[in-house]
Amino acid sequence: MQQTLSATTITQNQGNIQVIKRDGSLTSLDISKIRAVVEWACAGKDVNPITLEAGLTTRLRDGVTTREIQDNLINCALEMCSPDQPDWRYVAGRLQIWSLWKDTLVNRGYEYGDYPRTVRSKVESGQYDPSILTYTTEELKEAGSWINRDWDTDYDYAGAVLLTRRYLLGDELPQEAFLTCALLLGSVEVPEDRLGWARRFYEAIAQRKISLATPILANLRIPQGSLSSCFITSIDDNLESIFEGITDTARISKNGGGVGVNVSRIRSTGSWVMGKANASGGVIPWIKLLNDTAIAVNQGGRRAGAVTVSVDVWHLDVPEFLEMQAENGDPRRKAYDIFPQLVIPDEFMRRVVNKEDWTLIDPYEVRIKLGIELSELWAEEFESAYQTIEAAIGETLTLYKTVNARELFKTIMRSQVETGMPYLAFKDTINRANPNQHQGYIPAVNLCTESFSNVEIGHAAHCCNLDSINLANIEETELPNICRLAVRILDNTIDLSTPPFKAAHSHNQKYRTIGVGCMGLADWLAKRWLTYNNLKEISNLFEDIGYYCTHASMELAIERGAYAAFDGSEWSKGKLIGAKPVEWFVENSQHGERWVALSQDIQQFGIRNSHISAIAPNTSSSLVQGCTASVLPVHSKFFYDKWAKGTVPIAPPFIKDNFWLYHENKNFDQKKVVKAIATIQQWIDTGISMELLFNLNQGVYFPDEPERTLKAKDIYETLVMAWELGCKAVYYIRTVQRDNFKELDNTCIACAN
């Protein structure tokens, strides 16, 4: 058995140790080269390179490969990473990138330096869309001169690994991927300006100030890639619509998108079919087909499809809907792979608070006997129709069930604590903020609960492209320009994207819905010695973001025209974010006069995008971006995540200097989270992925009462508060039990990742 050599022996006998290079050739071990790489990887970080070199040399042996040396260095750095020495994860990230550079050099004969050659090669191999060749060789050469390879070295290990494994195409390098995306985004600009815009896009993306959603970053460069993250469809109560909806779901899944499907119009269990009473199997069999479609049509072989199925809370099948992921019961009426969602009107929440009765009804019977399509109504119209329906119970209407609203809500909560779902979508809040009330209504929310707009069955399916501003990496002075770029990038993707079915394309053309999000709020706060209790500062930040993004879309309307359905919209009436009158902004903003001017400009010039901002979960994208996810507190200040090749340290970027300013969400009062999200929601015109995390251990929230634990009443009050304060949806409910996470799959696999 071959023994590893000590550091002293290596230093004395390094010329006798043979190393296998990446191209297969042999060379003598040269410690000075290893030392140079170690010093390069450690430069500027609060680490001691000597400890890394010492950790490596005990592992060297004759016949070792350069790849093994690199991997050993990475493992040594990861092992030394701790809350006190978090910078080792950046050292490991640089070593991962170094390995990528060397592999690329071996595979294609060069690293950075010949971008036109890279483009031609990728187009010829079918990896790049040929449209990149709309740029001349001279233009590609100029673009290649913008590349800054040092930006590759900013990633920690988790970010470097995710970037290289999930997003790069073959022997592509990170800056080549970002530059190609930027050039394609710039290709829709006027010829004389496209290189200028492409450079601005590239620098914002490559410096991790703007994060592209996965469908854009992964698919923009490939031929006919779909760039949209979020889709919502609605199914009518007939076979043709049902199977068309299933087919559309398959198309979306094939192209890597996540889909929301509303099934509230479908008749309930025990309803009539072709005049025969008690013949309908209800919504569950159709949901099961959607479930199996998500499994069968995986996202390009990368992962199972992702479908959230929504039902309005008045539907007679709601009790069974809440049980369809339980272990007991008829397996033929189970759907374990979809993500259930309940659509909730204000009237239901009022009855929950007042402990009043709630009536579950069959939409088919109501439609046939009373002429009411309840699923398309909201607010006062819904309440009036619902009173009419309840008055007809027992006489005109025979298929119904009366329950206590509070008890039904307890059943919902029980399911949330056990499985993390259903998601909750507050329908009236969502539709009151809808700028396109003149064209229809919003039936439900998307897979990650942050993106939604009008859906017209068979004609327009909600379709949205996303990116995010990385608050950890920008300064206040940069915010106006970054918001402007983020909006322009997404508007350009609409013209570059190929939606997977006709109704999605129609929606794109009619509404031009986009979603500029944010990530790294916890970092932004910590960097400024603020916390989630600083609601005024949080409000001021997101007011600025809301203003700059809305202003950018108005500027695009001057340049390119307003979205097709602008006339008659709330925007056209002078209302602004969330369809609120301009007087609200004068009373509640830092600078009321700018909102007045913006309202007047939009009425005169229009606005390019019907919805502009939406904050996605960004769970994995934030690792690539090197910041905390979305706008929520960090789950833990420092932890090791289990990956295929071992454990990987995860920590926020400013942990070393601001450790105590990071709230750990697993120990943080969720009512404070709700208040922060509600504060942000005022300035976000679509939605926010609000995950709530409840710790069920003793004394966590009540330090003066060490035996006290969180009760169902506390969770109930938090959810009611979310509705009362104007939050539009509740994403996952997660729990911590016995000092460990009860892990629930909360990765947004469409919008953010």
Q: Give burial (CB, 10 Å; 0-12/13-18/19+) of 591.
A: middle
d(CA 746, CA 4): 43
Compute the residue count for the chain. 753
Answer yes or no: are the C-beta atoms of 450 and 686 closer than 8 Å.
yes
Helices (H), 589-695: 592-605, 621-625, 655-658, 670-681
Nearest to 24 by CA among 67, 85, 79: 67
* From 176, 450, 570, 691, active-site residue: 450
| Neighbouring C-beta atoms of residue 590, cutoff 10 Å | 12
d(CA 651, CA 647): 13
Which tokens is 594 given?
């700018």
Adjacent-strand bridge partners of 397: 393
d(CA 480, CA 548): 6
Which tokens is 351 given?
């009855």
> What does DSSP say about strands 306-312 and 258-262: parallel, antiparallel, or unpaired?
parallel
Q: Is 393 helix (H, G, I), strand (E, B) or coil?
A: strand
DSSP codes joined into one string, 610-636: S--B-B---TTHHHHHTS-STTSPBS-
Peptide bond just before 422 cis, omega within 30 deg: yes
Question: Active site includes 448?
Answer: yes
Residues 6+ positions from 28 with CB-CB distance below 8 Å: 14, 15, 16, 17, 18, 19
d(CA 207, CA 195): 18
Nearest to 636 by CA among 664, 657, 663, 660: 664
* From 448, 518, 549, 751, active-site residue: 448
Question: Active site includes 42?
Answer: no
Question: Active site includes 365?
Answer: no
| Neighbouring C-beta atoms of residue 643, cutoff 10 Å | 12
Nearest to 611 by CA among 514, 546, 497: 514
Among positive and negative, which fits the CA dihedral 417, 423, 426, 430? Answer: positive
H or E segment at 527?
helix 521-527
d(CA 351, CA 354): 5
* From 291, 446, 470, 665, active-site residue: 446
Answer yes or no: are the C-beta atoms of 565 and 610 closer than 8 Å.
yes
Q: Give burial (CB, 10 Å; 0-12/13-18/19+) of 445.
A: buried
d(CA 677, CA 429): 14
Which tokens is 470 given?
């990385």
d(CA 167, CA 753): 10
Tokens 């309803």 belong to which residue?
A: 271
d(CA 692, CA 672): 11
d(CA 491, CA 493): 5
d(CA 707, CA 718): 21
Which tokens is 573 given?
């009436």
Q: Is 27 helix (H, G, I), strand (E, B) or coil?
A: strand
H or E segment at 209?
none
Q: Which residues are catalytic?
A: 446, 448, 450
